[in-house]
Amino acid sequence: MTTSFERVSRVSVGYSPREVDEFLARARSAYESGDSSFGTTEVASASFGDERGGYDMRAVDEALDRLADAFALQQRDAEIARHGESAWIAQLTERAETLKERLERPAGQRFAPGAEGVLSYDRTDVDALCDQLVGYFTEGLPMSVDDVRRAAFRRRKGAEGYQEAVVDVYLDHVADLMASVP
């Protein structure tokens, strides 16, 4: 993966090139050494400061998605090598079942409600994505990991929506699972 990204104009704000380059250097080192303490979770939670004339945020985010996919596949291959494909499939099935349990809750009750006065995700929007995920998990309907990663939800205040952090963590787990399936 290259660490040279297009920069935004001097008057626009992008990600700090120094921070992005340092993170990607650590990621590359971990990937090449097979360091299992660094993986999709670290990539998904990466954040960077912003600065004028920095790296184009969309290009960096897309590269991070590809990097997360690479780590997921590396982890899958390592698990298969250590425990065999049957064990890996059993583990994958167990993770999918755990994630699917939340999807089986009634619409409007799948996640914790937002806190009073705090921005939250629109329940209808989140539930629509959850319904698509039900089709993916139960009926094998087509859906890509990017559909999950790029999902955008309208904002609501407080209990009118779902807590953003809870939804984000759940969707990170779903994306990680989907990325580990070839």
Kindly report the average pLDDT of the chain as a whole number: 91
What is the pLDDT, as a whole number, of residue 79? 85
The token duo for 179 is 């990325």
Average pLDDT over residues 84-103: 90
What is the pLDDT, as a whole number, of residue 147? 93
Residue written as token pair 């960077």? 48
Nearest to 174 by CA among 72, 74, 31, 70: 72
Give alpha helix (H) positions in the chain.
17-33, 40-44, 57-83, 85-103, 123-139, 145-149, 164-179
Gap between the Cα atoms of 159 and 180, Å rounded:
34
What is the pLDDT, as a whole number, of residue 40? 84
Taking only the tens place, the pLDDT of each residue in 10-41 is 999 999 999 999 999 999 999 999 888 888 88
pTM over 0.75: no
Average pLDDT over residues 154-168: 92
Which residues have a Cβ under 8 Å from the Cβ of 138 and sit 6 or more positions away? Answer: 100
Give the bridge partners for 161, in sequence order: 122
Average pLDDT over residues 138-150: 92
Average pLDDT over residues 90-109: 92
Residue pair 24/1 in contact (Cβ under 8 Å)? The answer is yes
What is the pLDDT, as a whole number, of residue 3? 58
